[in-house]
Amino acid sequence: MKVIIVTGTKAFKNASLNMRKILDIITIVTGILMLGILGGGFFTFKYVTSEQFKAKILNEIMGNVSNLMPKVLDKGLPDMTGPSVPTNSLPKF
């Protein structure tokens, strides 16, 4: 096995060429990731603001609330109310 040690400008050119390849790969991967993030954010925004999403969420909420409503109304409404509030104790403007 023969080892060749290169010094001077040729070594600098080889090292800078290798570094350039690595940086180019990192730049391409970063660009692809950035486009994916922006595209995903755009489509998520469009989906969340769509009428279909609003209807789906409203149906889900109304389905859950309608099951709870009779139980809450039975427990929450009083059988009898108290006397009315006298109006002479209210401040005059």
pLDDT tens digits, 3-50: 666 666 776 677 788 888 999 999 999 999 999 999 999 999 999 999
Give the pLDDT confidence score for residue 7 in this predicted structure: 63
For residues 4-19, b (16+ Cβ closer than 10 Å) or e, as one string? eeeeeeeeeeeeeeee
Higher-confidence residue of 69 and 58: namely 58
pLDDT tens digits, 67-91: 766 666 666 666 667 777 666 666 6
Q: How many CA atoms lie within 13 A of 1 on its CB side?
A: 2
Q: Are 70 and 77 in contact (CB under 8 A)?
A: no
